[in-house]
Amino acid sequence: MKRDEQPASGGKGANNSAMNKDEQARHEIDEASTGQGEPQHLLFPFAPSKQAKQLNPIVLAYMGDAIYEAAIRQYLISKPNHRPNHLHREVISYVSAKAQARFLGSIASFLTEEEADVVRQGRNTKSSVPKSADVSEYRQATALEALFGYLYFSGQHDRMRQLVNMIVHAHEAEHDNK
């Protein structure tokens, strides 16, 4: 038992301890996975082995792909039409390489210097491009995903939400003009 912890049962403050058993277990997992005393700003208690800036852009894109798609799915589920086929078509209109390349273009002028650097590294990184994809669009999509991975791992969740809102508004504006 650590010095500052209260006994689990009996003794002084057993019911009023600072952390209940679940919180304590999560805290211990956070410490074990990060090697630090305080939890990271991540959804799960598994911090990357390096700081976000030191991660390979492909690794950032790998995580960013999942984070970006989860954000878009959550947005679409907030809308009234929940038919699976409709949801799938709508998600594709946001997450295809072509769409991501367009959206990166729509937010590019709003990026900080640091974000633009992550985008540049993501765009210039070497990766295999699917035969069905345009090379330029695929590189731009990888850049957007790297940005989202970077923002996620660096704990910049408010900024991620801002960019998702910008992308959603850009998508809505495209559809309003059709």
CA 55 – CA 112 distance, rounded (Å) = 19
Cβ atoms 120, 84 nearer than 8 A: no
By CB atoms closer than 10 A (0-12, 13-18, 19+), residue 48 is middle
Residues 22, 30, 65, 158: which is the catalytic one? 65
Give catalytic status of residue 176 as yes or no: no
CA 163 – CA 128 distance, rounded (Å) = 27
Residue positions annotated with a catalytic role = 65
